[in-house]
Amino acid sequence: MKQTLTQSMAWLHTWGGLVFGWLLFAIFLTGTLAVFDKELDLWMRPEVPAQKVEQSQALQRALEYLQAKHPQAERWNISLPSERSPTLGVSAGNQRRGGGELLNPQTGEPLAVRETAGGGFFFRFHFTLNMPRTLGIWLVGLAAMAMLVALVSGIVIHKKIFKEFFTFRPGKGQRSWLDGHNASAVLLLPFHLMITYTGLVIFLLIYMPAAVDALYGDREAFGRALRGAPVEQQAGRGGEQGARHERAERPRAAPAPLAALGPLLAEAEQQMGPLAGLSIDHPGRSDARIEVRPILGNRIELTKGRSMLFDGVNGAVLRAPAESRPSQLTQRVMAGLHFAQFGGYPMRWLYFLCGLVSSAMIASGLVLFCVKRRRKYASEAPAARRVSHLIEALNLAAVAGLSLACIGLLWANRLLPVELAQRAAWEVNAFFAVWLLSLLHALWRPTLRGWGEQLGLSALLCMALPLLSLLTLPEPWAQPLHQALELTSLALGMALAGLAWRVYRRQEAAPPLPRRGAVMQEAL
Amino acid sequence: MMTSFFAGLLLAYAGMAALCLGMERHFKQVWQHLPSPGQRQALRLAGWALLAGSFAACVLAWGWAMGPVGWLGQVSLGGFLLLMLLPYWPRLAVLLPVFAAPWLGLVGVIQG
């Protein structure tokens, strides 16, 4: 049978959208939450004191602490409090090994902070799906390709893009779902295309390694080529490496006092914008080097690894911050557009809201699939009915269940005992346990009732989040960022409650769908 | 920055509302009668002008590089908010920018 273009695109959109929709919803929702990863991180570490402290003062505390505890260390790393995160972190030795400590930025005392998966969990889940190695990254890439396919095929099958630009007719069943799905997709099309495409560009070299393999042979050589860049840097880099090289043969350099850091940071800030932290190589010796890093987001470009190098004794600039070459800049600007570190809180909120609408758009597509199918439900063969029910259950678990699991993670953070061993892992276990339970619940309950219950519970947990803090913390609501997060949770909870209420009313009105158990029996 | 950010948002919403009213279907939805051709023309022109104003506000808030990114977000979200309000409270939806403007003035005064 010959099909028209629209028909084949509609088929592609329907089935491709369904199969990848579950995964895409998870990627989009966790990505949306990851927009506020540091804020979530802070919320999940309520022991961090609320007072705001100047960077210079915090730095002084950090230096005193490191001087007292690690005077012989080869390297000190300090991450300074900034607008988004008032924490002061220090570590000695190689930073990659981790194991740093959080200090009270006012007193310089180490903080006993609970172990937690943190807001970083949403960030990592967003692109790894919590899977080992690069498996998750490949799956997410595949889903992103499917998203691009769904967007383009969606544009082809949508006949009245401009005529129905603002059209939404609620309360009309399938019509309303289609309106909502179309309009949210069309109005936010720039965002959908941008976020999906730039997401793929971030892992460009994992997805398409051929060019790197052909040009450089191995990853190491490529990494070296990336690092050793423009000429004005070579001197600084060479000097640094030379210093490292000499160390093996020569005895330690003579002791020398550290340069005053104040003017040095001021200069770095003037050149690079607000600062995130610094590391000091060979502190207290004549070959000391100070590397200062800016926060991400002083420009659109994702400036990971950008820094300025100073002589640690006389404070001279050894290396100015590098500018990216055009090819690198292109990739980094795209990555930056995706990471949304630029433009401050207003931009962050725009990304968050756009992400929520995107997630809702994907969810509405999933629901639409079932609503359409339900109409022919009665005439289906038992086997097809079982498939329908399975799809309905997976939809429910993928959308409402994941929302429940996300808010469940925050509850687990407050409710699990603070001294629990491997607490962070238990929080993640709780997340997946809630998700699994929601799937079982979805398989067990009639569809609409299941939706009502899971949405209702999510709403309740979101709205009760401020209360949870009140019950579990000695000083709830002290931290302004906590207040903002809990108010946002309250607002989202109210939106979810509204949805749950509509589902409940709908369920009262609609003729009951046969229970899943009944269908199973029928099939047997 | 906050003032120009909210000004951009308001102008983006107002622009989308004007463009929406420039369509026969939605004009009728709000005012219960059809627009004259002149009215439609004027509304469309006003809509594009307001969107241009929103663009300018975003460039003021973020500069030439980040401004356009923020502007697209504001126009999209403004349009989406309008979409959600229109069927439930059509008149409020299109008059919202008028009510919101004094608040923007307040933000401006607070921010100085």
pLDDT in tens, B32-89: 999 999 999 999 999 999 999 999 999 999 999 999 999 999 999 999 999 999 999 9
A36 with A59, same domain: the answer is no
- Chain A positions touching B77 (Cβ under 8 A) are 188, 350, 353-354, 357
Structure confidence at residue A238 (pLDDT):
41
What pLDDT is attached to residue A243? 45
DSSP state of A285: B
Q: Is B62 in Cβ contact with A190 (below 8 Å)?
A: no
At A236 the pLDDT is: 41
Q: Do B79 and A300 touch (CB under 8 A)?
A: no
What sign for the dihedral angle of Cα A369, A370, A375, A380? positive
Comparing alpha-carbon positions, the chain B residue that sits nearest to A179 is B83
User: Chain B within 8 Å of A184 (Cβ-Cβ)?
Assistant: yes
Query: Does A193 share its domain with A302?
Result: no
CB atoms within 10 A of CB A32: 22
Tell me what pLDDT residue A2 has.
60
Number of domains forming the structure of chain B: 1
Residues A95 and A83 in one domain: yes
Measured between alpha carbons, how far is A224 from A228 in angstroms, rounded to an integer?
Answer: 6
Contacts of B65 in chain A (CB under 8 A): 299-300
Range of the domain at A122: 1-46+115-229
pLDDT of residue A69: 87
The two three-digit tokens of residue A401, written as one number? 């269940």
- Are A292 and A437 members of one domain? no
Residue B63 distance to chain A (closest CA, Å): 9
Cβ contact B77–A354 (<8 Å)? yes
In angstroms, the CA A406 to CA A429 distance is 12
10-residue averages of pLDDT along chain A (524 residues): 82 93 96 95 89 87 90 89 88 68 88 90 94 92 96 92 90 90 95 96 87 80 68 40 47 80 90 91 89 89 88 88 86 92 94 97 94 77 85 95 97 93 94 97 91 96 94 85 93 95 81 48 44
Nearest by CB to residue B77, choosing from A168, A299, A353, is A353
Q: Looking at residue A99, what is its pLDDT?
A: 64
Interchain proximity B73–A354, CB inside 8 Å: yes
Q: Per the CB < 8 Å rule, is B73 touching A191?
A: yes
Residues from chain B contacting residue A357 (CB–CB below 8 Å): 76-77, 80
User: Using the beta-carbon criterion (under 8 Å), do A187 and B80 form an inter-chain contact?
Assistant: yes
- How many separate domains does chain A show? 4
Question: Domain check: are A36 and A63 in the same one?
Answer: no
- Ranges assigned E (strand) in A93-150: 101-103
- ipTM for the predicted complex: 0.95
What is the spatial distance between Cα A314 and Cα A286, in angstroms, rounded to a whole number?
Answer: 9
The answer to whether residues A240 and A197 belong to one domain is no
Distance from CA of B19 to the nearest CA of A (A): 10
Residue A406 inside a domain? The answer is yes
**Contact between chains at B69 and A300 (C-beta distance less than 8 A):** yes
Shortest distance between the Cα of A189 and any Cα of chain B, in A, equals 8
Residues A182 and A169 reside in one and the same domain? yes
Q: A197 at the B interface (CB within 8 A)? A: no
- Between positions 283 and 322 of A, the ones with CB within 8 A of B are 299-300
pLDDT of residue A180: 94
If you search the block for the tokens 């991400």, which residue do you land on?
Answer: A296
From B10's Cα to the closest Cα of chain A, the distance in A is 14
Chosen from B23, B80, B84, B104 to mutate, greatest number of chain A CBs within 10 A = B80
Q: Do B76 and A187 touch (CB under 8 A)?
A: yes
A345 close contact with B: CB closer than 8 A: no
Judged by CB atoms closer than 8 Å, whether chains meet at B77 and A167 is answered as: no
A120 shares its domain with A243:
no
- A521 and A400: one domain? yes
Find which of B3, B16, B77 to mutate to test the A interface (most A CBs within 10 Å of its CB).
B77
Nearest CA of chain B to the CA of A359: how many Å?
A: 14
Residues in B touching A299 (Cβ below 8 Å): 65
Chain B CA closest to residue A186: B76
pLDDT score for B87: 94
Residue B112's pLDDT band (boundaries 50, 70, 90)?
Answer: low
CB contact under 8 A, B83 and A337: no
Interchain CB contacts (distance < 8 Å): A and B? 72
Q: What pLDDT does residue A461 have?
A: 97
Quick one: pLDDT at residue A516?
A: 46
A189 contacts in B (CB within 8 Å)?
A: 76
In this structure, the answer to whether residues A235 and A225 fall within a common structural domain is no
Kindly list the residues from chain A whose CB atom is less than 8 angstroms away from the CB atom of residue B26.
Answer: 166
Q: Which domain holds residue B83?
A: 2-111
CB contact burial A150-186 (16+ within 10 A = b; e otherwise): bbebbeebbeeeeebbbbbeeeeeeebbbbbbbbbbb
Question: Which residue is closest to B2 within chain A, CA to CA?
Answer: A346
Give helix A480-509 / helix A447-463 axis angle, nearest 10°. 160
Angle at the Cα of A181 from the Cα atoms of A177 and A186, rounded to 5 degrees: 150
Q: Is residue A352 part of a domain?
A: no
- Cβ contacts (< 8 Å) between A347 and chain B: which residues? 62, 66, 69-70, 73
> Tens digit of pLDDT for each residue in A95-141?
555 568 889 888 888 888 899 998 999 999 999 999 988 899 999 99
Residue B92 has what pLDDT?
94
Helix axes A5-34, A120-128, angle to 10 degrees: 150
In a domain, A421, yes or no: yes
pLDDT value, residue A247: 46
What is the pLDDT, as a whole number, of residue A219? 75
Contact B69 A344 (CB under 8 A): no
A166 to chain B: closest CA residue: B83
CA-CA distances (angstroms) from residue A316 to A75, A236, A310, A319? 19, 11, 6, 9
Interchain contact A252–B (C-beta under 8 A) = no
CB contact under 8 A, A166 and B77: no
Q: How far apart are CA B82 and CA B18, in angstroms?
A: 11
Where among A324, A339, A364 does a domain terminate?
Answer: A324
- How many CB atoms within 10 Å of residue A328? 14
Shared domain for A185 and A235, answered yes or no, is no
Same domain, A40 and A125: yes
The number of beta carbons lying within 10 Å of the beta carbon of residue A468 is 18
Q: Do B77 and A350 touch (CB under 8 A)?
A: yes
Q: Mind telling me how many Å the CA of B54 is from chain A's nearest CA?
A: 15
Distance (Å) from the alpha carbon of B74 to chain A's nearest alpha carbon: 7
Residues whose CB is less than 8 angstroms from the CB of residue A99 and which lie 6 or more positions away in sequence, other chains included? A91
Contact B87 A168 (CB under 8 A): yes
